[in-house]
């Protein structure tokens, strides 16, 4: 439902009953805060629409701003091969996992296609989702979809036409910007690390013009102006409205809107954005635009609580609308904010819990308390790939702990209770050596939990159709 400026003023005027604030005066105060309401609404919708594209670009800048591949970063057109799970210092992407080794690359397919070659993974679970600049997973080769045999693909740009080498399958990207966010399952033991490293080294990416030739990636120039320390989300949120929309306009030149986005384009035009053109700062009041980011980001995060796509079961919120969003722009922006790079639900579902229990008595998780998550006998998370429970701080980053365990899963050789149920113990201090296999270390302060289910069962019991129910997390003791 759209709210007119007059109805907004009348609503705020009612709040001022008994004071000297008339509806007209209240409207004036509101306009002093956000400017013209219609302009502000259009700008806010444009902000939410563009949030994934701007975040992807800012992430790309940070992750590729190195002279050569190293640790968690690599220049454009080169694979990053993480050799171990991310640790508590990792800030490039929110909600990282500690179950797979990332093998990722940023590509510009606007000039020419890029060839991606994957080795034979045999019986190891993997997936290499390919994200457009808008964060849609437009293709996802992997165990579930294409099998584990060796495979070769050409990622082509939206306007590319041509002939590919024999045996190369074309994946057409809707944007010039592409992020390959490969994940290879790993148990984390030295032996398994070595096995996965060999698979990572066999993953290749090369421009079509160099296919079949000896090719050495060109030297990359480091841009000293790029902030390499501040978390990307904080950098995006710190942009002024004018700077944000100027960047969005630039990005739209090579990452065009989808045909389904046509209805929002007039709203973008109202604030000076026309696909393919520079930002026109004279189209809207800069004071209005600069007030947009904070309130719009609050709208995005509120969607986690109020969005109809978000299911709430036993204190866990999750969605089966990830990876492909259509015109659900606020859902796309929310997933970008709290889990950039999320997969399609057939590949992964990510229930997240901010509070223990549910209802009016629910309280935010706090390391001062001890918590337990009990799975009845035979009811551990049903997933054909793997499952894990991860703890993050309030900003969705890992927190250092004495046993360097950021997630817990079946690979910890969980001990069952006499009745066959399994308890996951979530607390700051060790529960003792006899229970440490079931311990997920929590930070001393506030935290959130995320349950990952990769390749969730497509049939009952399944979280996809609700035939499997995620159990609550309860307080075991409270200080």
Looking at residue 6, its pLDDT comes to 28
Q: Which of 273, 267, 265, 284 is nearest to 249 (CA)?
A: 273
Q: Please check the confidence at residue 36 and state whether its pLDDT lies above 80.
A: no
Looking at residue 339, its pLDDT comes to 86
Looking at residue 1, its pLDDT comes to 28
| Mean pLDDT, rounded, for 162-182 | 97
The enclosing domain of 197 has a CATH number of 2.60.40.1610
Domain boundary among 303, 329, 357: 303
Shared domain for 325 and 440, answered yes or no, is yes
- Tens of pLDDT, residue by residue over 184-196, are 999 999 999 999 9
Q: Is 329 exposed, middle or buried (0-12, 13-18, 19+ CB in 10 A)?
A: buried
99 pLDDT tier (thresholds 50, 70, 90): very high
- Tens of pLDDT, residue by residue over 354-407, are 999 766 678 999 999 999 999 999 999 999 999 999 999 998 999 999 999 999
Assigned domain for 156 exists: yes
Give the contacts of 388 (CB within 8 A, at least 6 positions apart). 97, 98, 99, 407, 408, 409, 451, 452
| Mean pLDDT, rounded, for 56-81 | 96
Shared domain for 315 and 456, answered yes or no, is yes
Shared domain for 175 and 142, answered yes or no, is yes
The enclosing domain of 240 has a CATH number of 1.10.3360.10
Assigned domain for 18 exists: no
Looking at residue 360, its pLDDT comes to 67
- Tens of pLDDT, residue by residue over 80-91, are 999 999 899 988
Shared domain for 459 and 319, answered yes or no, is yes
> By mean pLDDT, which of 30-39, 70-79, 418-427 is the weakest?
30-39
| Three-class DSSP labels, 369-414 | CEEEEEECCCCCCCEEEEEEEEEECCCCCCCCCCCCCCEECHHHCC
Q: Which of 362, 348, 377 is nearest to 313 (CA)?
A: 362
Strands (E), 258-399: 311-313, 316-318, 348-349, 352-353, 355-356, 363-366, 370-375, 383-392
The count of residues in the chain is 479
Asked if the peptide bond before residue 461 counts as cis, ω within 30 degrees of 0, the response is yes
Give the contacts of 213 (CB within 8 A, at least 6 positions apart). none
The enclosing domain of 368 has a CATH number of 2.60.120.600
Looking at residue 18, its pLDDT comes to 36
Q: Please check the confidence at residue 32 and state whether its pLDDT lies above 60.
A: no
Assigned domain for 27 exists: no
Residues 44 and 39: their CA atoms lie apart, in Å, by: 9
Q: Please check the confidence at residue 438 and state whether its pLDDT lies above 70.
A: yes
Q: Please check the confidence at residue 22 and state whether its pLDDT lies above 80.
A: no
Residue position matching structure tokens 């190195």: 66
Q: Which of 341, 340, 332 is nearest to 309 (CA)?
A: 332
Rounded mean pLDDT of the chain? 90
Residue 379 CA to its chain's centroid (Å): 28
Assigned domain for 229 exists: no
Looking at residue 15, its pLDDT comes to 30
What is the tally of structural domains in the chain?
3
Residues 171 and 446: their CA atoms lie apart, in Å, by: 43
As given in the structure block, the two tokens for residue 444 are 């001393």
Domain boundary among 287, 303, 319: 303
Shared domain for 151 and 169, answered yes or no, is yes
Residues 100 and 182: their CA atoms lie apart, in Å, by: 9
Shared domain for 339 and 246, answered yes or no, is no
Domain of 432?
A: 310-477
Assigned domain for 344 exists: yes
Shared domain for 206 and 87, answered yes or no, is yes
Looking at residue 244, its pLDDT comes to 97
| Mean pLDDT, rounded, for 131-152 | 98
Assigned domain for 423 exists: yes
Looking at residue 96, its pLDDT comes to 87
Shared domain for 240 and 198, answered yes or no, is no
Q: Which of 395, 409, 475, 449 is nearest to 232 (CA)?
A: 395
Asked if residue 186 lies in contact with residue 192, where contact means CB atoms within 8 angstroms, the answer is yes
Shared domain for 420 and 346, answered yes or no, is yes
Residues 305 and 317: their CA atoms lie apart, in Å, by: 8
Q: Please check the confidence at residue 477 and state whether its pLDDT lies above 80.
A: no
> By mean pLDDT, which of 38-42, 54-58, 216-220, 238-242 is the weakest?
38-42
Looking at residue 27, its pLDDT comes to 40
pTM for this entry: 0.86
Looking at residue 168, its pLDDT comes to 97
Looking at residue 437, its pLDDT comes to 97
Assigned domain for 225 exists: no
Assigned domain for 29 exists: no
Q: In the chain, what is the straight-line distance between the N-terminal and C-terminal CA atoms, in Å?
A: 45
| Mean pLDDT, rounded, for 31-59 | 84
Shared domain for 369 and 314, answered yes or no, is yes
Shared domain for 317 and 448, answered yes or no, is yes
Sequence-ordered alpha helix ranges (H) in 307-344: 329-339
Shared domain for 315 and 464, answered yes or no, is yes
> What is the bridge-based pairing of β-strands 352-353 and 439-441?
unpaired
Domain boundary among 249, 275, 303: 303
As given in the structure block, the two tokens for residue 421 are 């149920």
Residues 67 and 162: their CA atoms lie apart, in Å, by: 32
């Amino acid at each position: 439902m759209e709210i007119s400026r007059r109805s907004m003023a009348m609503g705020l005027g009612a709040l001022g009953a008994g004071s000297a604030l008339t509806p007209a005066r209240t409207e004036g105060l509101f306009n002093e805060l956000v400017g013209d309401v219609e302009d502000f609404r259009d700008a806010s919708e444009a902000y939410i629409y563009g949030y994934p594209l701007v975040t992807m670009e800012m992430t790309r800048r940070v992750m590729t701003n190195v002279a050569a591949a190293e640790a968690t970063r690599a220049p454009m057109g080169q694979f990053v091969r993480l050799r171990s799970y991310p640790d508590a210092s990792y800030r490039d992407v929110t909600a990282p996992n500690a179950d797979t080794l990332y093998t990722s690359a940023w590509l510009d397919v606007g000039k020419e296609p890029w060839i991606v070659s994957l080795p034979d993974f045999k019986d190891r679970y993997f997936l290499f989702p390919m994200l457009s600049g808008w964060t849609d997973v437009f293709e996802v080769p992997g165990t579930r979809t294409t099998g584990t045999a060796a495979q070769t693909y050409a990622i082509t740009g939206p306007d590319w036409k041509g002939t590919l080498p024999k045996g190369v399958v074309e994946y057409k990207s809707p944007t010039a910007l592409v992020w390959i966010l490969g994940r290879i399952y790993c148990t984390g033991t030295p032996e398994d690390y070595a096995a996965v490293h060999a698979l990572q080294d066999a993953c290749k990416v090369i421009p079509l013009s160099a296919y079949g030739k000896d090719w050495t990636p060109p030297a990359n120039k480091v841009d000293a102006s790029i902030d390499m320390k501040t978390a990307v989300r904080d950098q995006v949120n710190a942009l002024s409205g004018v700077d944000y929309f100027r960047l969005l306009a630039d990005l739209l030149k090579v990452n065009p809107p989808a045909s389904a986005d046509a209805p929002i384009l007039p709203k973008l035009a109202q604030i000076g954005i026309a696909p393919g053109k520079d930002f026109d700062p004279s189209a809207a009041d800069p004071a209005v635009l600069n007030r947009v980011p904070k309130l719009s980001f609050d709208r995005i995060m509120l969607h986690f609580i109020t969005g109809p796509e978000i299911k709430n079961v036993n204190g866990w919120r999750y969605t089966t609308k990830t990876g492909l969003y259509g015109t659900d722009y606020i859902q796309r922006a929310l997933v970008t904010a709290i889990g950039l790079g999320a997969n399609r639900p057939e590949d992964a579902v990510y229930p997240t819990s901010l509070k223990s229990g549910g209802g009016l008595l629910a309280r935010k998780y706090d390391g001062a308390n001890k918590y337990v998550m009990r799975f009845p006998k035979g009811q551990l998370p049903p997933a054909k790939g793997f499952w894990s429970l991860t703890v993050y701080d309030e900003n969705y980053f890992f927190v250092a702990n004495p046993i360097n365990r950021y997630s817990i899963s079946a690979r910890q050789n969980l001990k069952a209770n006499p009745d066959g149920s399994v308890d996951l113990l979530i607390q700051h201090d060790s529960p003792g050596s006899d229970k440490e296999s079931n311990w997920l270390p929590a930070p001393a302060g506030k935290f959130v939990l995320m349950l990952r289910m990769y390749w969730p069962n497509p049939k009952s019991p399944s979280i996809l159709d609700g035939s499997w129910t995620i159990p609550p997390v309860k307080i075991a003791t409270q200080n």
